[in-house]
Amino acid sequence: MLTHLILFLKGFSMGLANVVPGVSGGTIALLAGIFSRFVNSLKSFDLEALRLLMKFKFKEFAQHTDLLFLVVLLSGEIVSILTAARLLKYLFTINDGIYVWAFFFGLILISVYYIGKTIKRFDALTISLAIIGAIIAYGASVITPATENDNMFYLVFCGAIAICDMLLPGISGSYTLILLGNYKLVVIDSISTLNLKVLIPFAIGCAIGFLAFSRFLSWLMKNYGDQTTAALTGFVFGSLVFIWPWKTPVYATMTTPEGIVDELRTAKGDLIIERYDKYIPDLNTDTYIAIALIFLGILTLAGIEEIAKIQADKAKKKANKTEN
């Protein structure tokens, strides 16, 4: 029961991360130590899983897909999005969200250390991959977004890329859709109106990306664990540019055929943030509070890691006693 509760809380944390712009649920999965298992569980929904279902072999299907793990984890994520995530959205309205950004900045910053130390062997290749991962993640923050495109093949491409962001730490799915130019078309216009001409190609792309990338990522983790972890560590480090607390939002706009520049809004009327302009803050009370929250984020994860280490040591000692 305790194991399931901890797993539920990890899913809860992933849900919170998905609400924070620029933070990936994959990052939380990676630092929580469940990234590989999560990817393997997702990629196990294959033809074998379908065969087991068709033969009503539900127990074998559950074992093949690690279904209990996935159900508990995703339950925590869903509960998080429906409950505590709303509080998080409210906190973003306080002082332009600087305090929330600061806490997550500290959390992600220290996670680079904890993820990186799982690499067993550091060499020129792993270091290079970490640097490349960081450059790619940083580069995503300065790319000029593409223009909207409703071409069927481009929508399939968008879906395939967007679903990959659910698996990759350090990359925000919604931000990627903005970069591809189709955030408004897919998330705002088409979902609210059930425009199947857009949603079906996008869903096909999601399915293709899900089936192909989850298997590819699982294969990489199994055969090139250190190199993959190094690249992912770089991704997470590079994503810190998204989470820098002191920034001014730049809102997405669209120029109409008449030459009028309109601000893009969600179905609820909220402005869509295209990017952030970062700045160095002045030293004042708000800045000191934000810096303190950065350290709180660091100490929070350090405390969680210490508790996890103590529990692992206890479990190891218990296992040794049982063997003896």
What are 243-298's pLDDT values in tens digits? 788 988 777 777 666 666 667 776 556 676 666 788 899 989 999 999 999 999 88
What pLDDT, on the 0 to 100 scale, is given for residue 290?
93
Question: What average pLDDT is seen over the chain?
Answer: 78
Task: Work out the pLDDT band at 114, boundaries 50, 70, 90.
Answer: confident
Q: Alpha helix locations (H) across the chain?
A: 2-19, 25-31, 35-43, 47-54, 58-65, 67-82, 84-91, 98-116, 124-142, 152-167, 173-179, 183, 191-193, 196-223, 225-238, 240-243, 285-323
Task: Work out the pLDDT band at 116, boundaries 50, 70, 90.
Answer: confident
Q: Among 35-39, 174-178, 182-186, 302-306, which stretch is predicted with the lowest mean pLDDT?
A: 174-178
Q: Which range in 3-7, 115-119, 284-288 is most confidently predicted, on average pLDDT?
A: 284-288
pTM score = 0.63
Question: Stretch 223-228: mean pLDDT, rounded?
Answer: 85
Contact 217, 247 (CB under 8 A): no
Residue 122 has pLDDT above 80, yes or no: yes
Question: CA 108, CA 237: separation in Å to the nearest integer?
Answer: 8
Question: CA 158, CA 204: separation in Å to the nearest integer?
Answer: 10
